[in-house]
Amino acid sequence: MFRYLEMIGVFAKNSMQNEAAYRVNLLTNILLTIVQVSSSIAGLLVIYTHTQTIRGWTFSQTLALLGVFIFTNGLTHTFIAPNLNEFAEGIRKGTLDFTLVKPANSQFLASFQRVNIWGTADVLVGLGLVVYAVTSGFGEGVGLLQVLAFLGAVLCGTVIIYSLWIGPATVAFWTVKIDNITSILQAFYNMGRFPVQAYPAWLQRLLTFVVPVAFVTTVPVQALSSQSTPLLLLASAAVAAVMLWLSTRLWKLGLSQYTSASS
Amino acid sequence: MISAFGVYFTTQWASFVAYRVVFFLYSMWAILPPLIYLAVWSTVAGGGGVGGWSRGEFVAYYLTFMVVNHLAGSIEIHTASWEIRQGEISGRLLLPIHPAVRTLASNVGFKAIGLLVVVPSVLLLAALFRPEYHTTPALVVAGVVATLAAGALQFLIGYTVALLSFWITRADAVAQLNEVLLVLLAGQIAPLALLPEALQAVAAVLPYRYMLSFPVEIITGRLGSSEILLGFGMQTVWLVGAWFLMRFAWRRGVRHYSAVGG
């Protein structure tokens, strides 16, 4: 376990050294994060000037939810997303061989060996937004229990989002091209910027059972504002476990299909 | 010029048909982001409406928005910018026809094939959300004209941003910045009439409204005839401005260009 955390550290350091050559990118990306986040907050403010709550969700609760969304979105774009296209390329060209011969779990390497350090700006801003929303909005109701439930739910959400990205990507073993699948996935994931209760019933079911974005952003904030039940948190953990298991099964199945592409 | 466009259009269309699934999926990007706000606003307005808008009027607004979003959208940051960065434009510069003609054919071809997904999706969403339209044939005609002009404006601005690839490696960041402003100031987050007045004033002057939400406001019957005329005036001013900006960027860019790769 610690060996793998250490490896992520090495990957991050590597990519930082690579990126140091493109310093203008740092400024550009920070500027982009600031503009995108302010525009999202402006959007929320506009909606809440016309209503007190969205199906019981106050402004600061939705703001905290936006923070969780930006945080998890930042994590995917830091760790997983930069690897996926390379992974599909690796299948097409046969360079996935280099990953497979390394003495570590191949699924781990294929999902984490490249790190986009600029994504961490989103991770930090997302966290900051959650802290701000809680302290300025519904802080009095938040105790140690709520924070622990929140952290547990965020962990489950992160596992779910990881499986959501890596599962469809594994389809590349059969179809080779995946950027269109991940692009559609991102479009659905963007629905996580609002609580699922804001959507009509059929869309809520879609976002709970088919693309379980509900567990990634809605459930953690419910846990934080004492609106969740232990059952809901258990369900979240169960979904995370099942999806992670499915993603590894799919990975192994795909890997058994892989015949490399070199001559 | 017109026959060259025809030839490009036919070849682009053929390649889009060959990779149709990809382009069907990409055209979902015109629908899914506004769907978020359609759903949220129709929930918020569920009871007695909000700011003078009923639930069905929000639905009508956003369904129209999706169609205009697809028809007027710019894809030049993916097509033209890529050609410049890969050096592919070198060969096209030698042809006796402006490379933008091919880019435009690719734009129109993508929109034509994308309609096969956008129209059924919007009809399905209409059945699910039940829109409430207050419009007249004359308004629809004016809206179609405004949509064409919005498409032309998005193309010119999108192409100009793509041309920045002659100088910088991250033209996509400028495009993303543009996209954020488009989402906020062209009526996706909320119809512009519901923004705070200061933002409305800014949105009325900047080009973004005329690139997307102006036709939607016309078709959904939100504008009086003087407002429509003023809007067309602003759209024309921005079209002329964007045309000269694009010409300027093109001349300077080609002079600055030294091909990358072989």
Domain assignments of chain B as residue spans, ordered by start: 2-256
Q: From chain A, pick out residues whose CB is under 8 angstroms from the CB of B41.
A: 47
Residue A191 contacts B, CB cutoff 8 Å? yes
- Please name the member of A36, A184, A193 whose beta carbon is closest to the beta carbon of B28: A184
User: Is A29–B173 a contact, with Cβ atoms under 8 angstroms apart?
Assistant: yes
pLDDT of B95 > 90? The answer is no
Give the CA distances from residue B110 to residues A55, A67, B72, B74, B117, in Å, rounded to whole numbers and listed in that order: 39, 35, 11, 10, 11
Looking at chain A, the whole-number percentage of residues with pLDDT higher than 70 is: 96
Looking at chain A, the whole-number percentage of residues with pLDDT higher than 90 is: 43
C-alpha dihedral sign at B131, B134, B139, B141: positive
B53 — phi, psi (to 5°)? -115, 130
User: Is A200–B42 a contact, with Cβ atoms under 8 angstroms apart?
Assistant: yes
- Please name the member of B25, B128, B184 whose beta carbon is closest to the beta carbon of A183: B25
What's the predicted TM-score (pTM) here?
0.90
pLDDT band at A262 (very low <50, low <70, confident <90, very high): low
Better pLDDT: A83 or A261: A83
For residue A129, how many other CB atoms are within 10 A of its CB? 22
Better pLDDT: A167 or B147: B147
Q: pLDDT tens digits for B189-208?
A: 999 999 999 999 999 999 99
For residue A245, how many other CB atoms are within 10 A of its CB? 11
Give the CA distances from residue A79 to residues A7, A115, A146, B257, in Å, rounded to whole numbers and listed in that order: 12, 5, 28, 35
Q: Does residue A110 belong to any structural domain of this protein?
A: yes
CA distance B43 to B58: 10
- Mean confidence (pLDDT) of chain B: 90
pLDDT of residue B45: 92
What is the Cα B46 distance to its own chain's centre? 29
Q: Does residue A16 belong to any structural domain of this protein?
A: yes
Q: From chain A, pick out residues whose CB is under 8 angstroms from the CB of B26.
A: 180, 183
Q: Does residue A263 belong to any structural domain of this protein?
A: no
Question: What is the extent of the structural domain holding A92?
Answer: 2-257
pLDDT of B262 > 50? The answer is no
Q: From chain B, pick out residues whose CB is under 8 angstroms from the CB of A69.
A: none
Taking residues A83-100, report their average pLDDT.
79
Q: pLDDT tens digits for A114-156?
A: 888 778 889 999 999 999 999 988 877 788 999 999 999 999 9
Q: Does residue A130 belong to any structural domain of this protein?
A: yes
The answer to whether A112 touches A5, Cβ cutoff 8 Å, is no
pLDDT of residue A176: 66
Q: Does residue A262 belong to any structural domain of this protein?
A: no
- Mean confidence (pLDDT) of chain A: 86
Domain count, chain A: 1
Residue of chain A nearest B129, judged by CA positions: A200
Taking residues B7-24, report their average pLDDT.
79
pLDDT of B216 > 50? The answer is yes
CA distance B200 to B178: 18
Burial class (CB in 10 A: 0-12, 13-18, 19+), B60: buried
- Please name the member of A46, A184, A187 whose beta carbon is closest to the beta carbon of B189: A46
CA distance B209 to B202: 10
Give the CA distances from residue A178 to residues A58, A75, A80, A170, A252, in Å, rounded to whole numbers and listed in that order: 38, 20, 14, 9, 18
Judged by CB atoms within 8 Å, which residues 10-49 of A form the interface with B? Answer: 22, 24-25, 28-29, 31-32, 35-36, 39, 42-43, 46-47, 49
- Please name the member of B43, B169, B184 whose beta carbon is closest to the beta carbon of A39: B184
